[in-house]
Amino acid sequence: MTLPRTPSFRLEGKRALVTGASSGIGLGAAVALAEAGADVVAVARTLGPLSALCSAMAERGLRARPQTLDITDLEATAALVADLGPFDILVNSAGLARHSPALATTPEDYDAVTDLNVRAAYFLTRAVAQGLIAAGKPGSLINISSQMGHVGGIDRAVYCATKHALEGMTKSMAIEWGPQGIRVNTLCPTFIRTPLAEQTLAIPERRKWIEDKIKLGRVGEIEDIMGPVVFLASDASALMTGSSLIIDGGWTAD
């Protein structure tokens, strides 16, 4: 009998672009991909935190290069991807939240959140796909969405709108680029303990709402997304595209 073999989770020989890499989920993704063997280009707007990250990773023998970029600058983003690509893996973790009741939403907040969470994500993902198609290479493109891309939330009308849009964008791109072997998926965390999430977790009634909704009874940690990111990036998920990997402790189960 010939037994099947588990596809590899290893990423040696792969080049990965991780945005929003200076903190939180993006930082965890950069470390996880490098631990799996990938060469990582870590992107954020400011150099200091990126340099600290890449230095810490180098001390552990992990390969990462810091690169400053504001991905809402579409021309600069396209130029960077063309210059440093093609990238086998994209993890788009750059994101913004400005929570308020819908009746209090300002046009300025709406524009800032949608410009980064939807517009910039769209053209970044397209740029990486263009590079792969030109090189005749397959790839795995991962957009960090949210459980809020599947449900609604208190004071989160704009944020939820952007994450629902990201889910639809990802599905359509997956259909379009599937014939080229380019997979496009989302990873959808619940509240993960990051500097951004701490703004909400610091409010007692909001924290209670969160803990009541998460069936496993705890807020997520950065480590909770690291394995799923490697899974989506690797051959272990070779038949997954246009899908959402929901890491929410059971929030969306009911």
Among 133, 124, 140, 32, CA closest to 70: 124
Does 8 map to a domain? Answer: no
Q: Is the dihedral of CA 18, 131, 188, 167 positive or negative?
A: positive
Number of independent structural domains in the chain: 1
- Beta bridge partners, 41, equal 17, 65
CA distance 216 to 152: 20
pLDDT at residue 233 tops 90: yes
Among 72, 27, 16, 18, CA closest to 196: 27
In the chain, % of residues over pLDDT 90: 90
Is 0.85 topped by the overall pTM? yes
Residue 83 sits in which domain range? 15-194+222-244
Is 215 labeled as catalytic in the residue annotation?
A: no
139: domain CATH number is 3.40.50.720
CA distance 129 to 191: 29
Does 36 map to a domain? Answer: yes
Q: Which of 110, 163, 208, 215 is catalytic?
A: 163
pLDDT at residue 196 tops 80: no
pLDDT at residue 200 tops 90: no
In this prediction, residue 194 carries a pLDDT of 87
Does 2 map to a domain? Answer: no
Determine the 3-state secondary structure of 16 from DSSP.
strand
In this prediction, residue 199 carries a pLDDT of 80
Q: Which of 14, 122, 137, 159 is catalytic?
A: 159
Least confident of 67-71, 150-154, 221-225: 150-154
Does 254 map to a domain? Answer: no
Mean pLDDT of the chain: 96
Measured CA to CA in angstroms, residue 139 lies from 97, 132, 168, 178, 224 at distances of 29, 7, 19, 10, 23
DSSP class of residue 94? -
Does 179 map to a domain? Answer: yes
In this prediction, residue 35 carries a pLDDT of 98
Is 110 labeled as catalytic in the residue annotation?
A: no
Q: pLDDT tens across 35-79, in order?
A: 999 999 999 999 999 999 999 999 999 999 999 999 999 999 999
Does 177 map to a domain? Answer: yes
Does 226 map to a domain? Answer: yes
**How sure is the predictor about 127, in pLDDT bands with cuts at 50, 70 and 90?**
very high
Does 184 map to a domain? Answer: yes
